[in-house]
Structure 1
Amino acid sequence: MARDTGANLTDVTCSGATTANILTTNQGSQPPQINAVNSGTDLVTITIGGNDVNYLGSMVTYSCQNSGGTNCGTVDRGAINTALGTVGQKIENVVNAVKARAPQARILLVSYSTLLPDTGGCTGVPLTADQRTFERTVAARLAQAYIDTANRTGATLVRLATASHGHDACAADPWVEKYKPASGRTTYHPNEAGMKAAASLVKSALG
């Protein structure tokens, strides 16, 4: 995107980040990501909140358990549901912090890629029917949090969650990887096609 638009990119994204890692809390040696935003910043893209509600973490835990893995951990659905109740406000706090530091910036909220098909499952995504239902609910509530936050703050919503329907991990043309991807790829994370699609949506949002 930066190459195509001539933008000067500052990338402070970090795998595993939560909203706290954007606003207040170091992530390893990386300071809070909000420190990269200043009065001269004119565009900020944000994807956050999934780790606040253990979205991927729970999918990986279930997949590990169902694949005969060891030390897989457990999934606390109560804690996830509680976190889902506050994640929208946390995402809104991130948007408001960006606004405070960069009042002229355009803010794009890029929602998460769809990971599961609307019905059923597939080899390579080892979740039970009950687990798939639960994870679809988590995904839907996250997507709704993005819609609500965009409506409340005036940020531009980039609807990757919607655009990626039909390109889940089980699809013929997947935009995300399965549980055990090829070397160099990341479990249940976007592949090249998924990132190109996200870039295309961002370009469209920018007009």
Structure 2
Amino acid sequence: MKTSVQAGVAGLLACGTLLTAVLVTRDGDDDSHSGIAYSAPSKGPYVALGDSYTAGPGITDPTGTPAGCDRSAGNYPALVAAELGLKGRDFRDVSCSGATTADLAGSQHTNDGTNSPQLRALSSTTRLVTVGIGGNDIDFSSMIKRCVAMGALYEMTGSGKYLHEDAPCEQNYVTGDSDAVREKIATTGERLTRVLTEVRRRAPEARVYVVSYPAILPADSADCGREMSLAPGDVTFLREKEQQLNSMLRQRASEAGAGYVDTYTPSADHNACAAKGTRWIEPLVPESPAAPVHPNARGERGMADAVLHTIKSAL
């Protein structure tokens, strides 16, 4: 999704984007830094495709071009490449904040330069590809912005403003049997399938992994008031939509013969409403370097560990 710390709420989750069950994390049984060496899938380049959850805006000084992609040298692709001993021409990170599936095949114009179609980074020599995309396709940043605004009003007026409903924002997207977000997720799935088909065509020898989104909100809606300014029911609503998005990513990856990296499971207790010292996702007002409602350095490290664990398990 399109991100900018200065843009505040208006730029929330502009990442777009946009997971296996028990994965290595910094807070679990971490064998990724215990002397067990990782091996590259095979000799050849690693290409990282994705949106701001891949790019890692605000974590460290931006790297690469264009500057408008807000790509961090501390994002998970960089950490994965370092662990695998890939550098120079063997590692290309073309992720860009604000990217959608369309920006993988077409040029993306940012507020500071144009990012070439991300798929152009692939070739017959590519041996590893990660894809982190989808959140911007379903307009998740706009959903967050609207829900935060309605949550602030909910806090000021009380639930009576909404006929005692505690999910005022959800009502803008779900009516009876109609669910606008679910429909967008389904459409995004079709686009992702086309993307993965094109990845396979351009890089036929590569191991391809679809990387999910880490947990943004907690399982207990009551634990996320001040940090996110959301009505309790909307915490549940947004969490469920993220889970539905990740489920789609998993299904489409499987159908395309790609791997799936589960970052949601290991991050469940490290969401934006967790304590400052443990969270992977920063809240509305970041307390560690990161864009609002985006992974901090700890989050990108956790995502990298999930990718590395999945790669190791497949070898």
- TM-score, normalised to structure 1, is 0.89
Determine whether 1:89 maps to 2:190.
yes
How big is each residue's C-alpha offset from its partner over 1:31-55, in whole Å with a ceiling of 9 and x where there is no partner? 2111111111111111100000012
User: What is the rounded CA distance, in whole Å, between the counterparts of 1:205 and 1:183 in structure 2?
Assistant: 28
Q: Which letter maps to 2:91?
A: L
> Which structure has the greater CA radius of gyration?
2
Residue of structure 2 in register with 1:71 after alignment: none
Q: Is the 8 A contact 1:56 1:188 kept in 2?
A: no
Alignment partner of 1:48 is 2:133: yes
User: Which one-letter code corresponds to 1:204 in the other structure?
Assistant: H
1:103 aligned counterpart, secondary structure: coil
- C-alpha change, 1:83 and 1:25, in structure 2 (3 Å) is farther
CA distance in 2, matches of 1:93, 1:119: 36
The aligned amino acid for 2:100 is T
Match among 267, 271, 283 for residue 164 of structure 1: 267
- Matched residues in 2 for 1:3 and 1:86: separation? 35
Task: Please tell me the residue identity of whatever aligns with 2:95.
Answer: T
SS at match of 2:183: helix
| 8 A Cα contact 2:211 2:260, kept in partner | yes
Shift of 1:22: 0.6
Q: Distance in 2 between matches of 1:137 and 1:156?
A: 23
Between the aligned residues of both structures, percent identity stands at 32
Among 108, 116, 136, the alignment partner of 2:239 is 136
- Amino acid paired to 2:189: G
Q: Which amino acid aligns with 2:148?
A: S
Q: For the residues of structure 1 that align with 2:151 and 2:264, how far apart are their CA atoms?
A: 26
User: Does the CA-based 8 Å contact 1:46-1:110 persist in structure 2?
Assistant: yes
Using a 3 Å threshold, how does the CA distance of structure 1 residues 184 and 57 change in structure 2: closer, same or farther? Answer: farther
After TM superposition, give the deviation of residue 122 of structure 1 in Å.
2.9
For 1:83, the aligned partner's letter is K
Ranges in structure 1 where 5+ consecutive residues have no aligned partner: 69-73
**Distance in 2 separating the partners of 1:141 and 1:126:** 22
CA deviation after TM superposition for structure 1 residue 79, in Å: 4.3
RMSD: 2.0
Please, which of 103, 106, 109 is the counterpart of residue 24 of structure 1?
Answer: 106
Alignment partners' CA distance in 1, 2:270 and 2:191 = 28
The CA deviation at 1:94 is 1.5
- Measured after TM superposition, the shift of residue 82 of structure 1 is 2.4
Partner of 1:103: 204
CA distance in 1, matches of 2:205, 2:246: 26
Query: Structure 1: which amino acid aligns with 2:199?
Result: V
The answer (yes or no) to whether the contact 1:23–1:32 under 8 Å persists in 2 is yes
Asked whether the equivalents of residues 186 and 248 of structure 2 are also in contact (C-alpha less than 8 Å), the reply is no
Q: Against the structure 1 CA distance between its residues 60 and 187, is the aligned structure 2 distance closer, same or farther, given a 3 Å change threshold?
A: farther
- The structure carrying a bigger helix percent of its residues is 1
- 2:210 is paired with a residue whose SS is strand
Matched residues in 1 for 2:274 and 2:289: separation? 21
1:147 partnered with 2:250: yes
Partner of 1:50, secondary structure, is coil
2:219 is aligned to 118
Deviations 1:151-184 (A, max 9, x none): 2011111100122111111123211000111474
Offset of residue 99 of structure 1: 0.3
SS in structure 2 at match of 1:2: helix
Unaligned runs of 5+ in 2: 1-79, 154-168, 174-178
For CA contacts below 8 A with separation 6 or more, give which structure has more relative contact order: 2
CA distance in 2, matches of 1:90, 1:79: 17
The superposition leaves residues 57-97 of structure 1 with CA deviations (integer Å, 9 ceiling, x where unpaired) of 311332245447xxxxx996254332112122222221111
